[in-house]
Structure 1
Amino acid sequence: MNKKILKLLPLTFLGANLYALNINEAVDKALTNNNSYIKQQYIYDEAKANVTKSQAGFLPKLNTSYTYNANKYDIGDGKDNANASAVLSYNLFNGLGDYYNLDAAKKNKFASKYSLDAARFDLIYEVKVNYISYLKSLKNIETLENAYKLLQKQYKDSENRFDQGLLARNDLLQVNAQMLQAKQNLARAKASSKTAWYSLKNILGGKLLKEEKIEDLKRDTPFIFDYKEDEIFSRSEIKALKKTVEALSSQKNANTYGTALPSVSLDLAHTKYGQDASLNSDELAFDEQSTATVNVKWNLYNGGADRAQTIILRKRSLQAKESLEELKLDIKLQYENAIEEFNVAKLNYETAKISLEQSKENYKIVNNRFNEGLSTSTDLINANFLLTQAKQSFDEAFYDRFLAKASLDRILER
């Protein structure tokens, strides 16, 4: 039995090593763990609580109190006295201020919900950008490692030819200099890849292990343009700003009507009197009292502060409206730019494929000619450089298509 388990253990570890995080799983992980997104969820929860708080103005309030006095001298009603009371208060009319404040709270809640939706799409896009940037860095390391190995091989061959008197010393030194430069480029690429990895880890809320593999993007992914311009004007940011404008309008009305109209409230109170801490009242003629009080308040003049506040809120509303129009223009520009990037990315990929194939063929030809003594070491260095550039351009073009699509998906909230 134990032997069977031991046989299965290597397969278990192999399965764990084969697992790789794909881009969709990275998005799900970020939506669960990203700190900024969680913070935005708390902001939405706060907005919902503000609605509940505003609704409290339409409900009755019940307060109780207890007072006990211990006097040094008896001044007629005994040395000690106490009373306990309960007061039920109800807002009959508050100048419509409470109604408009509740409406503003509801509008702000919707604005916060739309902002949360926008934050979600922002996060999805940022995860894709960081994920792809890390993949790019890995491909760049692979390309530069290959370039370095080719130069190492060329240096070794050149050294042999130099020893045989078939190559000038300056040519050997030139190859060595290029090899050292390639080594430096590789070191920088590895450092940049580490930075890209940490950026990806941070956006995932720190939930990324060093040994966790990152799955590459599929080579056969189709890139079909199925976007419509009219979709951009249903963006969450636009909806949020519209609700903000409506909320500011309600706040303005709350201030205008709430300060210009009277407020009316009703208090129902019942009080129990006593001659000691326990409210005993054997010697009191009246030990209980119930009262009903109607309170009417009307602010006739407040030094112009109320009118100034109404102006402030009106101007804030106008500012938000201008921001809304500006946002629509910005989103339209984003969409146009994204379309161009999408088309350019597809075109660049096709040309980069051709360039890479030709650069590979060119390197093969020059390398053969170099081995036959028909090409110089400089020719081979240049062929290596062109091959490296072509490979980098190909990888860049390959991933840029995914970035362009991710940008369009973000703009149209796909």
Structure 2
Amino acid sequence: MNSSADAPVSRDARSWFAIRTLALSMLASTTGTNLILVALSIQLFMEKSSLAATGIYVAQFLPVMILMPVAWRICDRMAVRRALVVLECASAATTLLVGLAMSADALWLAYALLFVRGFTDMTTKAARGVAVKQLAPAGQVASANNLVNGASYVGQCLGALLGALLVTIAGPLTIACVNAGTFLASAMLCLLLPMVAGQAAARGGYAEMFSRAMAAFRRDETVRRAMALLVGTVVFLQGYNQVARYWIPLAWLELPAGAGALTEGLGLIGVIGGLLVVSRFFTGEKKRKPEMTWAFGIACIAMLLPFATQLPAVSLALYLAFMFLFEISFLLTMNTLLFRADEADVPCLLVLFYGLSFGGMAVVATLLAACADTLGLPLPAAGLCLLGACFAAWIGSRPGKQRIQDAI
């Protein structure tokens, strides 16, 4: 009797062990992702221009848009544990080569290597999303995703903080060695995950991917809306933040180079705050169409808050508020997408999300950086804010037909 009653508890305990391990690996991996990116972008911003610094992010984030079918096959056909270990080891090796290229002042070679690393990194993120859907206890996908994505953003902020600090005391090769160690730590953690067979459903190229995604959107309008707002969150909000995170302290507030670490620390506080709010008030598995739209729209408006004053304490506090609202928007939309989508559609949808959103983010960040070099950031940010608000209004007003009625 007792062993029978304890079986579901045991299964849930194993599932949560796997999710916590996945979150720790995400923390290590995303710390590494941002560590060298931020260090190099600050170095290039100080030595060259905003556009040269943003080129680091373009090289990192464009590859999945170009190679989406390849990423889809990896996430769909390979067992997620094997995929994560191989990808993390490849990221470690490529990062060391980036450090060597920067030490030799071979900037274009570094960009090319970051393109390769960008593919492995974005595919790793998509694979982790698949793992959340596969490994989370029944009915607890949102809670599991809050933990894993919270670890992702904490890792990004920690990596950026370390990068901003290390760039003042160490060269690019030393930073790359530290960075590679985080990827190897993530790979070792991934070895502890259970082996779950892949779907083996990925076939064809871009046409097949988009066809499968459109079928998922037709089946469930909430999936379509969550996907649109999730892509918008990364393209508009994170695209802005790739420039704002160093432009606000170094150009708007004219603080010394080490102040880049201050905005990263404040970003970390904002992310943790947003994670706590979503975990406390938005963990129920339900449709969240109004909340998603409003969260995105308000976060778009918050982009302009840091430019209301050049008092460092106030401007930086307003930047923290933006990061808080950004995290809420991201988690609400990602949780809804993962819960509502069929498991067989998740690899396709997540690769599509990472390809479109991070590729779009790189384009937005490049345009903002180019404008910031001549016009400053407030005016281009106002234009981006207006576009984001219009996008939120359009998504929120589309009638959409709900094809599946779930009693949730």
The TM-score bracket by the shorter chain reads under 0.3
Alignment TM-score, normalising by the size of structure 2: 0.22
Q: TM-score, normalised by structure 1?
A: 0.22
Name the structure with the higher helix share. Answer: 2
By relative contact order (CA 8 Å, sep 6+), the higher-ranking structure is 2
More strand per residue: 1 or 2?
Answer: 1
